[in-house]
Amino acid sequence: MQRAYIDESGYTGGDLLNADQPFLALSALFITEDQASSLRRKYFPKLQAPELKHVTLAKRPSHWDSLLKIQQECLSKYCGISYIVEKRYMCILKLLDDCIEPVWHSSGRDFYRDGHSLSLASTLYYCGPQFFGHESFNRLLSLYQQASRLKKSEDIDAFCKHAKTLVGKELGDVFYLSQIGIRHFWKRFLAH
């Protein structure tokens, strides 16, 4: 079994609309503990800290060369993967997963087939603020985030009430479906 060391940056818990940290990055490096210790001794032999923290090391110009070299060696010798997501887009994807997919599923259709979910998320990401107004669209996402995190009926109702105000506008029918879907979403959480 291969071991992976994982770290993240930009994690703000369930707050996907945090303007100060709009991106989440997650990286994994497949390396053994012995290999990692060897790299540490090679590039940072005098450091006594239990963990190497890039943010701390990058503050000291004396570490810059070592940081670049260790990165080059890791990239050339070891397998790794990084994933970066814009959290606002992630919030829209979650809204569609929770509120639209159940409606599609109940009618026997696959919301994810042929990229439907990604297409709709991208359309909403780029066009939602223009179609509904920035303030109204931001409120929709904020109400969804609160409803999905707290799972209180008054939050679900506030989300549905706001979604109703968007019906009849460009893409507004999506949010008519979301009122039905959010009820499925709510029932699922109550069941767990």
The full set of domain ranges for the chain reads: 4-86, 88-191
Helical ranges in the chain per DSSP H: 33-43, 54-57, 64-77, 87-99, 101-106, 116-132, 134-150, 153-166, 172-191
Q: What is the pTM of this model?
A: 0.76
Radius of gyration of the CA atoms of the chain, in A: 22
DSSP state of 172: H
- At residue 17, the pLDDT reads 96
pLDDT in tens, the chain (192 residues): 788 989 999 999 889 999 999 999 999 999 999 999 999 999 999 988 888 888 899 999 999 999 999 999 999 999 999 999 999 999 999 999 988 888 888 888 899 999 989 999 999 999 999 888 999 999 999 999 999 998 888 998 898 889 888 876 666 566 655 555 555 555 554 454
- At residue 140, the pLDDT reads 94
